[in-house]
Amino acid sequence: MEGKTYEAAGVSLALADSVVDRLRAAVESTGTEGFGAFAGLYPLDDRRLLAATIDSAGTKLVLARKAGRLRQIGADLAAHCVNDVITTGAEPLFFLDYVVGHSLSLEQVAELVEGAAEICREAGCALLGGETAEMPGVYREEELDFAGACVGLVEREDLIDGSRVETGDGARSRHRRRDRRQPLARTAGGPRAGARLGQLGATGGLRLAHRPGRERGGAAQGLQRRHRDVRRRSGRRRGRGARDRESRVIGVLVSGEGTNLQALIDEGLPIAAVASNRRGVRALERAETAGIPASAFELDDFESREERDAAMADWLAVRGVTLVVCAGYMHLLRPVFLDRFDKIVNTHSAPLPEFPGAHPIEDVLAAGVPETAATVHYVDEGVDSGAVIVAEPVPVREDDTVESLRARVQAVEHRLLPQAVRELIS
C-alpha cells in the first residue's frame, strides 16, 4: 500500500521551511535567537529564560465535533503546547486559549476549555484565561478552531538547546519529574505554580499575580481584566439612597429547576423580573408563584444569539433591572447583553479558575482533590472566567458521588448567593 505523506494530504513541509527561512531575518532583528524551534526563548535575566509556544488544534476539530469529543481536543492542544515548552527544559507556568468559529455554543467552548484545564492541572500550569470570537464572514457554518499559548521558565543551566548533545547521549523520561508536580495532590502549604510566578517577578520587576489556591475568594480578582466594576458606565450606581437600594433592581436568568432563584425569593430580595432561554421550566413556575414577571426567550424565536440577547436585555431593562443574577443559566451571554448592565453574577460548584466549565463536580471528583467550593463570581465573555466575589470551601468525602457532592455544594450556594447579591445592591 502506498505510504501517506503530508504533501498528499495538502500540507507542504517545504513551504513551512520556506516560511521560517523567509521570516528569520525579520524575527531575529528584534533580538530573537534560535528562531524555528518548538518554543521560543526570552532571557529574563542572566540566570533564567522564558520559553513560549503557540499552536492550534487544526483540522482534527472537524472529526472531533462530529464525534462529540471536543474535550479531548482541548486536552490535546494544551498537551502540545506544554510539551513544546518542556523540550527546552522549562517548567510550564501558564496557558492561554482562543476559541473562534462561525458561531459558538456554550457547550462547545466549555468542552474545549475543560479539556485544556485537565492537562493544565496535571502539568502544574495555570490556565490564566482566553478569548472567544465569532466570525461568520470568515468561518463556514459549524466550523471552529481552538488555539493556545504556553509560557514556561527554565534556569539557564538546565536549558536544553542541543548545544551540549554528544554522540552516545540518550533520552531521559520526564514522567517521574512531572509526577512530583501534580498540583492537586499537594498538601496545604506545598509549592505551587503561583510560587514560581512570584519568583519570576522577584528580580525582574514584573508585576505578576500568584496562581489562585483554595483560599476563600482565590486570586481571580487580581487576574481578571474585565471586572464589571471597571467596565461600568460612569455615573451608574453612585449616590444611591436607602430608598433606591430597596427598589426592584434584580433580574434573574434561569434555564431549569430554579433552586437558586427560590433561595433569592425566600430571602426577600428585590427581584424585578425572571428570564429564561427555555419555556416550561420549573424556574418560571417559581417566579409566577411569587408574582414576579417572567418570560422565555428561546433561541429558535430569533435570527441569532445577539438578537435574542438584545431582546432579553431590553425586556429586563424596561423593568428597572441593573443587577443580573445567572441562576443556572446555561448559555454564554453576548457583549450586546453584558454591556447593558452594571453587574452580572453567576454561581459555580467548584473553585475558580481551577475548575471552569459545565461539569465542575465531575472534574473535582476526577482530580481527587480534598475539597471543592461554592463560588459566586462576575460574568464576562468567557467561560467562568470573571472575577471571584466570594467562595466557600466544601469538603469532598471519600464516599462522595456526583449527586451527593452536588447536593452539599448547592446547600451552600443557596445561602451564599443571596448574601452576595444583598451586599451588591447595598
Residue 175 among the catalytic residues? no
Entry field: residues in the chain: 426
Q: What is the DSSP letter of 234?
A: T
Contacts of 323 (CB under 8 A, 6+ apart): 249, 250, 251, 341, 342, 343, 344, 345, 421, 424, 425
CB–CB of 265/286 below 8 Å? yes
Contacts of 193 (CB under 8 A, 6+ apart): 93, 94, 124, 125, 126, 183, 211
Question: Angle formed by the axes of helices 259-266 and 402-425, to 10°?
Answer: 40
Starting at the edge strand found earlier in the chain, the sheet holding 343-348 runs: 294-296, 271-276, 250-254, 323-326, 343-348, 371-378, 388-395
Q: What is the sign, positive or negative, of the torsion defined by CA atoms of 277, 280, 282, 285?
A: positive
Our measurement of the distance from residue 224's CA atom to the centroid of its chain's CA atoms, rounded to an integer in Å, reads: 11
Beta bridge partners of 390: 376
For residue 121, give the C-alpha cell.
492541572
**Of the residues 210, 348, 377, 414, which is catalytic?**
348
Phi, psi for 97 (deg, rounded to 5): -125, 165
Which H helix or E strand runs over 101?
A: strand 91-101
Phi, psi for 273 (deg, rounded to 5): -165, 155
Starting at the edge strand found earlier in the chain, the sheet holding 91-101 runs: 40-43, 48-56, 144-155, 91-101, 126-134
Catalytic residues: 348
